[in-house]
Structure 1
Amino acid sequence: MKKELKILAVFKNKEFLKLWIGQIFSYLGDAIVQIALMAWVISLGGHSGSEMSKILFFFVLPSLLLSPLAGALSDRFSRKTLMILSNLFRAALVFIIPVLLFSKSSTHLHTMVYAFSFLIGSGSAFFFPAKQSALPNLVKSEHLQFANALNAGTSTIAILIGAVITGLYISKFGLANSLWVNGFVYAASAGIISLISFNNSSVASKVAEKTDISASIKFVFNYLKTHKNTRRLIILSILLTLVTASFFNTLTSVSTDYYHIGIAGLSKLKAMLGVGMILGTFVVAYAGKYARTSTILACSFIAVFLTTATAQMVTTYNLAWIWLVLIGIANASMVIIIDTILQKATPDRIRGNIFGIKSTLTSLVFLATTWGVSELVLTTSPFKIFKFVSLTSLLVALAVVLFDNKFRHFTVRSLIGAIFRTLFPITIEGKEYLVKSGKMILAGNHTGWVDTLILQTACKRPVWYITGPVAFQMPVVKNIIKYFNVIPLQYGKGVKALDAAVNKIEKGEVVCIFPEGRLTEDGNLMKFNKGVAYMHKNSKAPIVPFVIQGGFEAWAYNKPFPTFRKIVIQFGQPLYMPESEDKDIVNELKNRVQFIKDSLTRREKSLYDKNYYENVLDLMQLKSDANAPVKALSLKDKGKWSELSYIELSRQAKNFGNFLIDSGIERGDRIAILSESRPEWGIALFASFQTGAITVPLDVKLTIAELTSILSDCLPKVLCVSIHYLETAKEIKSLIPSVEQIYIIDDIKNQEFLSVYEVKGPEGDIGKARSLDETALIVYTSGTTGNPKGVMITFGNIISQLKDFEAIFKINSSDSLISILPLNHLLELNVGFLGMLHMGARVSYSASLNPKEISKIMKERQTTYMIVVPLFVKMLKNSVEKEIRKSSKQAQNIFNIMYKLAQYMPIAIRRLMFKQIIDGFGGKMKGFVSGGAPLDAEVAEFFERMGMPIYQGYGLTETSPTITTNTPKYNRIGSVGKPLPSVMVKISAEGEILAKGGNLMKGYYNKPEMTKEVIDEEGWFHTGDIGEFDKDGFLYITGRIKNMIVLGGGKKIFPEEVEAVLEKSPMVKELCVMSVKIQGGSKDGTEEVCSVIVPSDDLVKKYKDDFAGLEKEISSEINQLAKAGLASYKCPTVIAVSLEELPKTATRKVKRKDVQAWYYERYARV
């Protein structure tokens, strides 16, 4: 549930609302009686400012004397009863006041006013501890701060209303009448509070626990001795009271004695202050989501410092508004935060006592300050008192900074960090691995004297460091470093000396350790000690490796002065292996740190004008170094993410590749991959590239017979599989003698086969350089058991595609792609995998293809692109339209109007118009890349108007695969775009599309004759597709030669053209148009156009068991569409209905031959 919705839960709490309304009346009563008594004093004449301060003094005095007793009683008896009695007692008093105070026989009027102030204050003294200790019993902990803010805000409103209304009421009806009304207000408070239902079981147990109140109070004082945070909160409350009392009493004196504004003017100023206090409740309620409480506290005291320092400049009501509102905000913020923290920090059984003691101490300070101010204003300028308030507020703000580690860190990071960054420009990489909360260990190389400042600047959270005990023995130094997160390491106690660090980690802190134990002497890594393993295993905290590049050159241990230069700190993917041996943890950590260090060194020394495209391994390394900490590949499975950063992908691939080379893999050997899409797929692919082998990606949907047929053709030596397909792999190994070894690519241990995470390859760069004309992949375009066709894709083909896509799609590390197509599909492999990694983007996979799960991932990963087949985006369109149909008629009309207007709007406006729909796709979706089949123009138009264009492309596996594509710059619906920069396309005399370029395959594996059939002597590849260019160079596909239907009269029909018309019907979920031969009857043997239709789910539900009715409606719909949009000879003469999904390839293309077979099996005669 969102935080805003949680806050609303407070208002739904009926018991809290009763307390809330009851305390409003109680505070309203206090405000009325105070104003009434002050008005009476002013009417008597004399030094009004001083007399009014004395009234406030006597009103607060009972809190000093009675709060410990009130607190103890609220912990032992019914808090509700105490609040009710408090209100009734005050009600009785204010009913008596008019009788005694305003009788003609009354003498010593001032003394009587003070006496009644004391008695009414006594009633209030019992109300506050009971109310504050009861609040946590009525609301949940996560709602407590807002409940306090609401209470503070509404009590302020009550005081405001009391001040304003009382002033008006007194002037019109007199003092006596106002006090009679006041009595009924107190009585109303008592009545409302009596309706609250408390859970008193805990109170009963407390009564049974102790019977002596004095012993209870003594117990609380002992509690305070051992809990310094509670003590600090009470001290902070006392300081706040000192500031508040000084300010309020000085304000009263300035108003009445300096500016002579009277009761009406004073009420107006208090109203201004009250408005600020109300605003302060909102500041706490909502700013608390974004700022720490200590930050708000310090800033509030600083606000008081600034405003009171400028008090003498306030000479008009307009300036007073600004001045008093700011002070009101600051005061309310401080009160709410301190009370909330104290409520959460204290146990329920002593909470009343704690608040009673707090009330006593704050009352003592308030009284002393009030009395002091009332005397000081007689002899000194009130503006000097404001200066005292200003200085005190500044000192308190500094104290908050000093005692709060995180706020101190914020200050150091902001101020010192700014200076440090100026001297040493720092680049921080991999910040996403630094968790915002929770335990964490940072471990990396110790380069020089500036390392700790670099880390402190890089981390938003405070970092604790481990140092030797000598520093804590230095007289001055020990008092300084203890405030700057330093943990002493005790020599001679082995790894147990790190227990203090482990304790810090277990409390959710961040601890940094330099495993080398000392500064490097030459910039290279030294031996890593096992202390980091001890910390990891005992705390179960992840280790985030880091490398500081340039720290040694900036200020090495043997250099007296620093060299100001650029520094890079890179954080790597977290390491978590607490169940492993110490040496394994240390070795893995050192390997990661060394790999990051080598990567940064290469990157710093790289000559970017070098032609890296000539060496694929160098290109791979360059891209890994450039995007090292970025999360390259991620998989969500069972609600958890497994991830590989660019540098971890490179490191793991290098390790596995070296292992394979050491195991005997030679150049030209084949390595097959049988796995669902997952990050480790990339490890197997890049490892294969490094060994000099040829990679064979396999379709996981193929049968054992189909896989055996393919592998018998290419004869792989190694089979890399996910655990899900291990049994299939084992069966294949028994059938294919060439398969020598199986490796599991998951991070799962198996007794029979090694995982890529378990193997240990030799160190060093032993990978084999790959030239552009070498075969990188053999991709099989068919799973047939008869004659498998393997397309040989070279590294030059891959590089050609990467360069072209880099030129036309401006993608970078801020982009994210969700992959739903299998990686054996060349569009997904070359564009969605290699292309995205080449441009520094992030790729996410999902173990589930459930639309809701996909949508959730898109939101989590802020997906910007998706590679799809047309059928998938059509399903998305139908899903969106279905949701729209569920909405109200008014909402549908608004959508329809916006949809019509969208065609005239720029894309930025369209994205705003349909923001709700875009949010369903994650909120950041820029567009889709589509291929593999014709795209319905209506589907393309729909997403174009939504502001998420579909970039339809065209190509074949033989062309690696892309020949043409639409782009963000040039996108024309209905076309398949323009040729890629490196590709040439022409249309033959027969209308066939021919292509040539760096993307053209090397040929079919072991099938030179078949290769010659598709690539002519001039190097043109014959696609088998019919197409045409428009005048602007956009290509349109009109059909495929092998699918072409030739009727008896010689007429030629392309099924794709017919499908484009029929698929517009909302009744059609899927369809396939093909030719069938009529068997029997007068048309026996003739070729006819047949359409096989899978009806929509809604239509199936409508007819349920009435299949005949379903067929009749479908036939009617298809005939109408065909007659309206097609020439008569192209209209289907045979219409068949299937309730089953049509058979498809892994890329969601309909298998026409299989549909044809289904038709003949079901309809032997037509």
Structure 2
Amino acid sequence: MPVNHDTTFVDNLTQNMAVQFLDRVAASPDSEAFRYPVGDDWTSITWKQTGERVRSLAAGLLSLGIGPEERVGIASATRYEWIFADLAIVCAGGATTTVYPTTNSVDTAYILGDSESRIVFAEDDEQIAKLREHKSELPHLMKVVTFEGTTDDDWVISMDDLAALGDAHLAAHPDIIETTAASIAPDQLATLIYTSGTTGRPKGVRLTHKSWVYEGMSIQVQGILSESDLEFRWLPMSHSFGKVLLSAQMACGFAAAIDGRVDKIVENCSIVKPTFMGAAPRIFEKAYGRIQTMQAAEGGAKEKIFKKAFAVGLEVDRRKRDGKSVPLMLKLQHALFDKLVFSKVRERFGGRVRFFISGSAALNREIAEWFNAAGIVILEGYGMTENSAGATVNHPDDNKIGTVGRALPGTEVKIGEGDEVLLRGPHVMNGYHNLPEETAKTLTDDGWLRTGDKGSLDSEGYLTITGRIKDLFKTSGGKYIAPSAIEANFKAICPYASQFMVFGNDRNFVVALVTLDPDAMVGWAEENDMSSASYTDIVKSDKAHEMVAGYVEELNARLNRWETIKKWEILDHDLTIESGELTPSMKVKRNVVEKNNGERIAAFYG
């Protein structure tokens, strides 16, 4: 199947998200829209039922006085109510302001205050408490709508309360939702996403209705997804990656199973049996590491068969990529191993996955090739909040592993000064909220978005990302280091690694801090007679040091001399979102980690 690069739809982006949603309800009323867990079971809801609930909630917002582009916050983990709230906001002509549930109360108050949010959907009592703590700092906030929290005063109401207000409003104004939707201009503000950022205060990214409609339609015209697909969606809806999947769902009409619990991803996949899923690389790294350690623990003939299977699978894939024929004996071996090994790997994810989409950070090539050998295609894409998440993506029929694919139809990509990736298209933000100087630094006069990423384009238009320009550093010997490439390499080698952070700016050699995955280390501890020891004692043990030392040595053998890790140390804790060392999208806040471990890093050079 040829890849569709038709861009004529870009000239007709007159729709807004509200009309797009109402059109989808009209086109697919009896088809499944969403699936969500209730206890141990899953409940399904059609597009018609979704439309009815969203109409009631949107009318409720209008009855409370929400006007065009007025902000309504959502402070919640990913769940179906998040999506209903978001759709209700856009159908009421408002603009969704996203707040991660892990955001502390001070930053929550800052985001809601800076955005002047008038209503907030709060998941539970924990989120409500953050709002109460800073209520005096939020003069614009007139009402809180909770998914499952306590409603003990007039300030906090339930979703059903809001829907009841909406039903009364609809009785008096039956066409209010359609009239409001039709009045929304494509360039009207739809979403205000505050980037979690790795430095400083979060910045509010202003994204329009046109941005999201474009994202969904650019996927639709390529024929990647259809109404027959089923997505498993766990990604934070507060993140642009989660939002772009919702945009694609509106355009393509597929159903989505919703559950934001990260620890349930693999289990849920085996139950839901999705045909595709979006994820951050950390999810694939953990799955890869888990399968590797399980096979190593079994040992013997099973481990030998496993290793031989992937050797064959990787060789078959290599030959296909190089345009070479696959010898008959190799084909027969591959067919056998597909039944014995690869089918079992696929079954862990439900057995129906056509592809995964990886974004938000770089995916190691070896891990991508390993999954591909097992018949699980990972399509790596690229983008950022400032361009509504999607700018480039690989195609199932034209997947070049190691790249982030070609530009979406209607997106322009070029390499600027210092090899910086520049983007232009309907999806680019119209600026940072209340930050004109920051906007001017990021957007050029002719509409190009400066991404801050270093990259290159090949002759076929495939984009490769080297890393964040601000993360690149130079040793005192004058050699440039791209830490993200080294870090991803180590995590592909070491199945027990959680994070591997490289430092050495203006120093004469490179050092690293290592964290080990708590889940993976449980099995390792049992195999090394340390099952009763604490996580800290396990990772600080001589045996753990010897294990990591072996992997560092293997890593160094792959690196240029000036990149090799001369000194390293295992931290006694893993990085977490709660500690402030990871963003909610699981990116390492390098500056926070470096500050927290300043003395330790300095001691490497003492």
Aligned 8 A contact 2:234 2:260 in 1? no
Taking a change above 3 Å as real, the CA distance of residues 857 and 630 of structure 1, as seen in their structure-2 partners, is farther
Taking a change above 3 Å as real, the CA distance of residues 894 and 717 of structure 1, as seen in their structure-2 partners, is same
Name which of 508, 511, 514 aligns with 1:1093.
514
Aligned 8 A contact 2:13 2:210 in 1? no
Aligned 8 A contact 1:993 1:1023 in 2? yes
The aligned counterpart of 1:690 is 91
Question: Which of the pair has more CA radius of gyration?
Answer: 1
Taking a change above 3 Å as real, the CA distance of residues 719 and 921 of structure 1, as seen in their structure-2 partners, is same
User: What is the percentage of aligned positions where both structures have the same residue?
Assistant: 25
Question: Given residue 287 of structure 2, which amino acid in structure 1 is its aligned partner?
Answer: L
Deviation of 1:1018 (Å): 2.2
Instruction: Give SS of 2:165's match.
Output: coil
Aligned 8 A contact 2:490 2:500 in 1? no
Aligned 8 A contact 1:708 1:735 in 2? yes
Question: Given residue 593 of structure 2, which amino acid in structure 1 is its aligned partner?
Answer: V
Unpaired segments ≥5 residues, structure 1: 1-609, 1078-1084
Taking a change above 3 Å as real, the CA distance of residues 813 and 942 of structure 1, as seen in their structure-2 partners, is same
1:289-438 → structure 2 map (5 Å cutoff): none
Aligned 8 A contact 1:995 1:1021 in 2? yes
TM-score by length of 2: 0.83
Aligned 8 A contact 1:684 1:745 in 2? no
The aligned counterpart of 1:898 is 309
1:136-155 → structure 2 map (5 Å cutoff): none
Instruction: Give SS of 2:465's match.
Output: strand
Instruction: Give SS of 1:1165's match.
Output: helix
Q: Which has the higher helix share?
A: 1
Mapped to 2, the partners of 1:684 and 1:719 lie a distance apart of 10
Name which of 102, 107, 115 aligns with 1:714.
115
Question: Given residue 765 of structure 1, which amino acid in structure 2 is its aligned partner?
Answer: D
Mapped to 1, the partners of 2:488 and 2:481 lie a distance apart of 13
Taking a change above 3 Å as real, the CA distance of residues 643 and 730 of structure 1, as seen in their structure-2 partners, is farther
The aligned counterpart of 1:757 is 160
Say whether residues 1:1109 and 2:519 are aligned partners: no
Question: Given residue 666 of structure 1, which amino acid in structure 2 is its aligned partner?
Answer: G
Aligned 8 A contact 1:697 1:778 in 2? yes
Instruction: Give SS of 1:1022's match.
Output: strand
Say whether residues 1:773 and 2:187 are aligned partners: yes
Deviation of 1:611 (Å): 6.6
Q: Which has the higher strand share?
A: 2
Deviation of 1:796 (Å): 1.0
Taking a change above 3 Å as real, the CA distance of residues 846 and 1119 of structure 1, as seen in their structure-2 partners, is closer
Q: Which moved more, 1:1109-1118 or 1:616-625?
A: 1109-1118
Question: Given residue 708 of structure 1, which amino acid in structure 2 is its aligned partner?
Answer: A
Deviations 1:645-668 (A, max 9, x none): 211221111112112212211112
Question: Given residue 294 of structure 2, which amino acid in structure 1 is its aligned partner?
Answer: E
Aligned 8 A contact 1:706 1:783 in 2? no
Unpaired segments ≥5 residues, structure 2: 1-10, 321-330, 576-580
Deviation of 1:885 (Å): 3.3
Say whether residues 1:841 and 2:254 are aligned partners: yes
Question: Given residue 997 of structure 1, which amino acid in structure 2 is its aligned partner?
Answer: G
The aligned counterpart of 2:291 is 880
Mapped to 1, the partners of 2:453 and 2:198 lie a distance apart of 22
Deviations 1:155-185 (A, max 9, x none): xxxxxxxxxxxxxxxxxxxxxxxxxxxxxxx
1:920-931 → structure 2 map (5 Å cutoff): 920-931=348-359
Instruction: Give SS of 1:922's match.
Output: coil
Deviation of 1:1116 (Å): 3.4
Taking a change above 3 Å as real, the CA distance of residues 771 and 746 of structure 1, as seen in their structure-2 partners, is farther
Deviation of 1:847 (Å): 6.0
Question: Given residue 918 of structure 1, which amino acid in structure 2 is its aligned partner?
Answer: R
Name which of 42, 58, 64 aligns with 1:641.
42
Aligned 8 A contact 2:31 2:47 in 1? yes
Taking a change above 3 Å as real, the CA distance of residues 912 and 785 of structure 1, as seen in their structure-2 partners, is closer
Taking a change above 3 Å as real, the CA distance of residues 824 and 847 of structure 1, as seen in their structure-2 partners, is closer
Aligned 8 A contact 1:965 1:976 in 2? yes
The aligned counterpart of 1:548 is none
Deviation of 1:1158 (Å): 2.5
The aligned counterpart of 1:999 is 427
Say whether residues 1:1126 and 2:559 are aligned partners: yes
Say whether residues 1:817 and 2:238 are aligned partners: no
Deviation of 1:637 (Å): 4.2
Mapped to 1, the partners of 2:502 and 2:454 lie a distance apart of 17
Deviation of 1:1092 (Å): 0.8
Deviations 1:196-244 (A, max 9, x none): xxxxxxxxxxxxxxxxxxxxxxxxxxxxxxxxxxxxxxxxxxxxxxxxx
Aligned 8 A contact 1:911 1:918 in 2? no
Question: Given residue 1129 of structure 1, which amino acid in structure 2 is its aligned partner?
Answer: W
Instruction: Give SS of 2:312's match.
Output: helix
Question: Given residue 678 of structure 1, which amino acid in structure 2 is its aligned partner?
Answer: R
Taking a change above 3 Å as real, the CA distance of residues 911 and 729 of structure 1, as seen in their structure-2 partners, is farther
Mapped to 2, the partners of 1:702 and 1:822 lie a distance apart of 13
The aligned counterpart of 1:889 is 300
Taking a change above 3 Å as real, the CA distance of residues 848 and 981 of structure 1, as seen in their structure-2 partners, is closer
Mapped to 2, the partners of 1:934 and 1:960 lie a distance apart of 18
1:675-754 → structure 2 map (5 Å cutoff): 675-724=76-125, 725-746=127-148, 752=154, 753-754=156-157
Mapped to 2, the partners of 1:787 and 1:1141 lie a distance apart of 24
The aligned counterpart of 2:471 is 1043
The aligned counterpart of 1:800 is 214
Q: Which moved more, 1:1144-1153 or 1:749-758?
A: 749-758
Mapped to 2, the partners of 1:642 and 1:760 lie a distance apart of 26
Aligned 8 A contact 2:35 2:44 in 1? yes
**Aligned length, in residue pairs:** 547
TM-score by length of 1: 0.45
Aligned 8 A contact 1:868 1:929 in 2? yes
Instruction: Give SS of 2:557's match.
Output: helix
The aligned counterpart of 1:377 is none
Mapped to 2, the partners of 1:672 and 1:1059 lie a distance apart of 36
Name which of 621, 624, 629 aligns with 2:22.
621
Aligned 8 A contact 2:70 2:117 in 1? yes
Deviations 1:515-536 (A, max 9, x none): xxxxxxxxxxxxxxxxxxxxxx
Aligned 8 A contact 1:653 1:683 in 2? yes
Mapped to 2, the partners of 1:715 and 1:1087 lie a distance apart of 49
Name which of 576, 591, 596 aligns with 1:1153.
591
Question: Given residue 698 of structure 1, which amino acid in structure 2 is its aligned partner?
Answer: V
Deviation of 1:1155 (Å): 1.4
Instruction: Give SS of 2:36's match.
Output: strand
Mapped to 1, the partners of 2:406 and 2:452 lie a distance apart of 18
Q: CA RMSD, aligned part only?
A: 2.8
Deviations 1:975-1022 (A, max 9, x none): 111111111111124211111111111111111111110111222111
Taking a change above 3 Å as real, the CA distance of residues 786 and 734 of structure 1, as seen in their structure-2 partners, is farther
Instruction: Give SS of 1:805's match.
Output: helix
Name which of 250, 265, 279 aligns with 1:868.
279
Instruction: Give SS of 1:970's match.
Output: coil
